[in-house]
Amino acid sequence: MTDYDTTTGATSTSTSAPTTSETAARRAGQLTPASDTLGGSGLQTAHGNTTIADSVVAKIAGMAAREIPGVHSMGSGTARALGAVRSRIPGQSTQASAGQGVSVEVGETQAAVDLDLVTDYGQSIVQITDAVRANVINRIEGMTGLQVTEINITVDDLYVEGQDEDQQEQQEPRVR
């Protein structure tokens, strides 16, 4: 802040702290610093624009969803099957793709996310999806500055412990 002394004609620069009301208004999104953004998201500034690719937002959403206990895996049955085949190819990662089970639409300042989840049997699907939704919104908005308008979650399956071993035993060849 620059102050002008009318008696001496001198100017001085001070870095006074914002008042409590200014801080509260800034937190509520009603007041932004002069050097801040044109659109309020941090992506469009007086010095240029920042564009975030859909794949980046999808990775953030996928990783944020997997952070929640009770999320066993992500993706529809077809996506999970293709991921299992891909993991058997030598040199390929055995870990699922961060964007598997995630579909996003990204605009200039907003994003919408669709997630396909497999949850663990015995846990509250409502609590898991609420936690996933909150974590994904927090991560995307915190990392990108995009406003998340909606998160649609589809629970495609339940994981039952021991289910994978039973299915593998059934798939063994009958003739040797």
pLDDT at residue 8 in the model: 52
pLDDT at residue 75 in the model: 87
pLDDT at residue 15 in the model: 42
Quickly count: other Cβ atoms within 10 Å of residue 108's Cβ: 13
pLDDT at residue 136 in the model: 97
Closest of 137, 140, 156 to residue 73, by C-alpha: 156
Strands 110-120, 71-74: parallel, antiparallel or unpaired by DSSP?
antiparallel
pLDDT at residue 162 in the model: 81
pLDDT at residue 117 in the model: 95
Q: Hey, what are 87's tokens?
A: 């993991």
pLDDT at residue 33 in the model: 40
Cα end-to-end distance, the chain, whole Å: 83
Give the residue extent of every domain in the chain. 48-170
The CATH architecture assigned to 48-170 reads 2-Layer Sandwich (3.30)
In the chain (176 residues long), the average pLDDT of successive 10-residue segments reads 50 46 48 42 83 94 96 75 56 64 94 96 97 98 96 95 60 65
pLDDT at residue 16 in the model: 43
